[in-house]
Amino acid sequence: MSASAKLAEPSIEAASPSRANVQTRTITYDDQIARWFVFASVAWGIVAMLAGAFAALQLAFFKANVLPILSYGRLRPLHTNAAIFAFVGNMMFAGVYYSTQRLVKATLASKLLGRIHFWGWQGIIVAAAVTLPLGITQAKEYAELEWPVDLAIAAVWIVFAVNFFWTLAKRAEKQLYVAIWFYIATIVTVAVLHVVNALSIPVSLLKSYSVFGGAQDALVQWWYGHNAVAFFLTTPILGIMYYFLPKAAERPVYSYRLSIIHFWALVFVYIWAGPHHLLNTALPDWAQTLGMLFSLMLWAPSWGGMLNGLLTLRGAWSKVREDPVLKFFAAGVTFYGMATFEGPLLSIKSVSSLAHYTDWIVGHVHGGALGWNGFMAAGMFYWMVPRLFGTKLHSRRAAEIHFYIGTVGILLYIIAMWVSGITQGMMWRAVDAQGNLMYPSFVETLLAIRPMYWMRLFGGTLYLAGMVMMAWNLYMTAKSGRATDGEAEVVVEIESTKEIDWKRIVFGPPVVIAAVCLVLLFAIAFTNPVGTAGLLLLAGIVGFTGIFVLTLMKSPNKPTWHAILEGRALIFTVLTVLAVLVGGVAEIVPSIILQQTDAEVAKKTNAPYRALELEGRDVYIREGCYTCHSQMIRPFRFETSRYGEVSTLDDSRWDHPFQWGSKRTGPDLARLGGKYPNAWHWQHMLDPRSISPGSNMPSYAHLEHGRVDFAGIENKLRAMRSLGVPYTPDEIAGAPADAEKQAAEIVRDLETQGIAANPSSELVAITAYLQRIGKNPPPPPPPAAPVPVTMTNEAR
C-alpha cells in the first residue's frame, strides 16, 4: 500500500493490482512551482499585513488618511484582497502543487500551465493593487475587482484546474487521499462562486453594474462571501492540514472515517450558511432561518475536523514542545476550532442583533485569518522550504520567537475587537427608563472604543513583525541550500485492472439515502409547521437508520463504497459538485423568481435614481463609503429611534450592487435623505470634525475638484435599464440635461448659504445621492384618463 493510502488507512487491498501487472519507475516532481508560490505568498503577506496595520492606524488616528488613493475606504479592500488572494492564495497553490504530486505519485502534468498559473495570478494581484486604490471597484466584499480582472481570474483558475485534474488523470496512486478531496471541492466550488457573483453588465472598460440588485444581490453576494471563506480560506487549508500535519508529526491521521464525515458534511452544509450575514435585515425570513440553521449545523463537521487534526498529534505532543513547525500547526488548528465555534454562535439571531455591524465580527474574521490561515501557512513554510532547498531551517530559535510574538499579536487583536464590538453593541442599544437612547450621538461610541483601536494596531504590528522575521528566516534557509526537486519510485500498472461499474457507485446505498433525505427536506417548502416537523423527523430517521444499516453490512474483506469512490476521480468530482450545488440552487433560484415578481410591483411604487443621483452613488462606491456605513435599519427600537423607519426591500430595489454594508464605523445612512440641508453635507465632506467633533472620518475635500462626466451618464442609465431598472428611452436621452438641472438646483441652494460650488463637481453629485437615500420618491403619476365629452343638443 502506498504512503498516501496509508495515511488515510482505507481498506482497498481488494482493488489493488497484482505484482505481475506492475512495474517500478523513478519520477522527479516539479517543485519549482511550489518554491515560486511560497516566496510570493511571503512577500504579498507582508504587503497585506502592512496595509492592514496602516488601515488600523487610520481608524485610530484620522490624520493618517494622507492621500485620497490611500484613504481608509480604498485601502481596506486592498488589504482584504491582498490577505485572501495574494497571501493565502499563493500559500494554497504552493501546498496544493507540492502535496498533490506526492499523494498521487505523478509529476505535474504541465510545467507550462504551472508557469502561466503563477504569473497570471501575480498579474491579477498587481491589477488589484493598482485598481483598488484608484477607486475602480464593484463594491462587493471580497469581490471588488472590476470585470476585466474578473475574467482574468476565471481564465487563470481554469488553467489551474486543468493542470490539477490532468495530474490526477496521470496518477500512479489510484486512491485519492483526503487532502485531494478538499482540493477538488475547492477548485470546483470557487469556480461556481466566482462566475455567479461576478456576473455584471459593463458600462466601460473599468466600470460595470452587477446583474443582481437589492436583496437578491445581497443574498448572492453573501452566498459568495461566506463561501469564499469556506472554499478559499478553509477547505484547501484543511487539505494542507491533512497532508502536512501528519508528515510533520510523523503520525497517521487519527481517523479515516472521521475524515469522510468531515469532508462530506462540510461541503454540503457550508454552502447554505451565507444568509447568516444578513440576519434581522430586509432579507426574507425563510432565507435568514435557512442560513441560521445550517450555520448551527456547521459546529459538528468543523469540530470533527479540528479534533481529527489535534488527535493526529497523539503520541507526538513531546515533539510539539521542541518543533516550531508543530507549534504553528497545533495552534493553527486550535484557532480553526475557535473560529468555527464563534461563527455559528454569531449566526444565532439574538447574538447577531448585538454583534452585527460591530468590531466583534472583525475580531472573528481575523482570528481565522491570522490564527488559522496565517499559522498554517507559517508551519507549512517552515516545513517545506528546507526540503525544497535540501538544507535545514536557518534558525529554529527565530521560528520559535515568531510563533510567540505572532500568538501574542493575535490575542491582543482579537481581545481588542471583542471588547470594542461588545461595547459598540451595548452602547447602541442602551436606553433609559423612558426608552430614550442613552448615547444618541454615534461619536460617543467611537470615543469609547478608540483605546481598543490602538491595542488592535499594536497586536497587528506584532504579527507583522513575525511575518518579517519569517521572511528573513526562509530567505536565509534558501540561501544556505540549493533548489532541489523531490524524487520517488512509483509503481505503475502495465495492464489496468477492471474497474467497478460506475452505476454501482453513483447509485450506491449512501447516494440513495442522501437523495431520499434531500427530497424530504425540500418538501418542507410546501408544508405547514406541523408537516415541517414531521418531515425533519422522518429525514433524520432515514439518515441515521441508513448509516446504521450500512455499518452492519460492512465486510472487512471487501472495499467499502467510499474506498471504491476514492479510486474514481471523475465520479468523486461530480458528486462533490452536486453536493455543493444543491444548497446554492435552493437559495438563489427562489430569490430570482421572487425578485422578478416583486419588481413588477416595485415599478408602481418606487422610482429609480435620477441621473445625478446615480453619478453620486458611483462616487460613494468609488470612495469606499460602504466599508464604514450601512444602509439597513433593522427592526429594533434602538435602531429606529436612532436612524428612522425600518428598511424594506423596496429601499434598495434598484441598487446594483446593493449597499447594505457589513460594518458601522460610521452611522447607518438608510434614512439620511432630507435629514440635513445641502450645506451640512457639503461641510461634512470637506471637514467632518467641524460637524461631528471626534469623528474619525477622512476628509473628502478632493471631491470638490473632481468633475462629473455628464456626457457619459446615458450609458450608465442604458446599462441599468438592461438590468430591469425602469428607465424610459426619454429619460435616458434626457439624462445629461436632467443631471445638469438637478446640479444647478443644489448649487443655487448652496449659494444661499454662502457656498460657491461648480455644478459639475463630484461633491455636488454625492450630495444629490446622499439627499436621496431612503426617500424613494414615487414615479410620476400616469397621464390622466381622457374626460368623456358630453354632446349638447346643439352639437347633436
Domain boundaries, the chain: 29-484, 503-567, 611-772
Measure the CA dihedral 716/722/727/733, to 10°. 50
What's this model's pTM, rounded to 2 decimal places? 0.91
Provide CB contacts within 8 A for 423, sequence distance 6+.
Answer: 445, 448, 449, 452
Q: Is 79 annotated in some ligand binding site?
A: yes
Q: Is 277 annotated in some ligand binding site?
A: yes
The Cα-based distances of 438 to 61, 242, 429, 448 in angstroms read 26, 51, 8, 14
| Per-residue model confidence (pLDDT) at position 85 | 97
Q: Is 366 annotated in some ligand binding site?
A: yes
Give the chain's count of helices (H) and strands (E).
Answer: 32, 4
The DSSP-derived string for 357-386 is: BSHHHHHHHHIIIIIIIIHHHHHHHHHHHH
The Cα-based distances of 1 to 21, 63, 181, 218, 241 in angstroms read 15, 63, 19, 49, 22
What CATH number labels 29-484?
1.20.210.10
The Cα-based distances of 349 to 295, 346, 394 in angstroms read 11, 8, 50
Specify the pairing of strand 207-210 against strand 22-28. unpaired
Q: How many CB atoms lie within 10 A of CB 779?
A: 13
User: How many angstroms from the chain centroid is the CA of residue 616?
Assistant: 27
As a whole number of angstroms, the distance between CA 131 and CA 138 comes to: 11
Q: Is 276 annotated in some ligand binding site?
A: yes
| Per-residue model confidence (pLDDT) at position 493 | 64
**Identity of the amino acid at 189:** T
**3-class secondary structure, 28:** strand
| Per-residue model confidence (pLDDT) at position 594 | 57
As a whole number of angstroms, the distance between CA 724 and CA 48 comes to: 38
| Per-residue model confidence (pLDDT) at position 512 | 80
Longest dimension (CA), the chain: 115
Q: Which neighbouring-strand residues pair with 488?
A: 27
Within this chain, domains 29-484 and 611-772 share the same CATH topology = no
What does the radius of gyration of the chain's CA atoms come to, in whole angstroms?
29
| Per-residue model confidence (pLDDT) at position 751 | 96
Provide CB contacts within 8 A for 660, sequence distance 6+.
Answer: 218, 278, 281, 630, 631, 632, 652
| Per-residue model confidence (pLDDT) at position 781 | 55
| Per-residue model confidence (pLDDT) at position 350 | 94
Looking at domain 611-772, which CATH architecture does it have?
Orthogonal Bundle (1.10)
| Per-residue model confidence (pLDDT) at position 414 | 97
Cis peptide bond prior to 657, omega within 30° of 0: yes
Specify the pairing of strand 487-493 against strand 22-28. antiparallel
Q: Is 364 annotated in some ligand binding site?
A: yes
Q: What are phi and psi of 484, to 5 degrees?
A: -130, 125
Residues of the chain with pLDDT under 70: 1-22, 492-504, 521-522, 524-526, 529, 532, 552, 590-605, 777-796
3-state helix, strand, coil split of the chain in percent (to 5) is 70, 5, 30
Q: Which neighbouring-strand residues pair with 487?
A: 28
b vs e for 446-484, b when ≥16 Cβ sit within 10 Å of the residue's Cβ? beebbebbebbbbbbbbbbbbbebbbebbeebbeebeee
As a whole number of angstroms, the distance between CA 125 and CA 47 comes to: 11
